[in-house]
Amino acid sequence: MAFLYPKFDFKSQKIKMRRRNFIQKTIATTAAISFTSSLLPKLLSQNLIHLKFNFMNESHPNLKLINSFFQAYGSNDNEAIKAILAEDIKWHIPGKHPLSGRKNGVDQVLEYFRKLNKAALKAEPIVMGVNDNYVIDCHRNWSNMEEGNNLDSMSCLLWKIENNKIVEVHNFPADQNVVDLFFQEHYK
């Protein structure tokens, strides 16, 4: 005995399914735009405009500490940097280049910064997030070397803070390969 199945056209069903999905997405997008455009002016006309947001220049003590660090680093003020760092700080530099690895203690961290000066490396914070124990900052790094390739990259740093001192830092470059190549070229 043979079983007979009704003939099913998979191709036409796929096309119908795609059309249905497209139509559903179009309706949902149109509804969202319509809702947002009618609701947004009402929301903005209320007290939402007057809310204050805690951006990176506000008064949290950990943000002040990190901003102080960037000012001291930018002016190559080792004494000010020493006052900000814990004596037993751990600074983690990822990668496969001559400057990578964990730096232990203020002296090793300052030696690392001294080596960075060879590349005229600068850092400019873009945005920071904060809580009572950590700050995360994203910043632009760049170098101004007259010879060889220069670095222009983004990094994020996770700063651990205890008793108003930086006790540990983890560096997360946006593109580790670019950073590795730069430091391999200039720190042989």
CATH number at residue 105: 3.10.450.50
Rounded Cα gap, residues 49 and 176, in angstroms: 40
Q: What percentage of the chain reaches a pLDDT higher than 90?
A: 49
Residue 74 pLDDT more than 60?
Answer: yes
Same domain, 85 and 30: no
CA distance 177 to 149: 14
3-state secondary structure of 163: coil
**Residue that finishes a domain, picked among 48, 73, 89:** 48
Q: What is the pTM of this model?
A: 0.68
80 shares a domain with 33: no
In this structure, are 28 and 112 located in the same domain?
no
pLDDT for residue 97 is more than 60: yes
Judge if 22 and 81 occupy the same domain. Answer: no
Of 39-53, 59-73, 91-105, which one has max mean pLDDT?
91-105
Could you tell me where the DSSP H helices lie in 118-186?
176-186
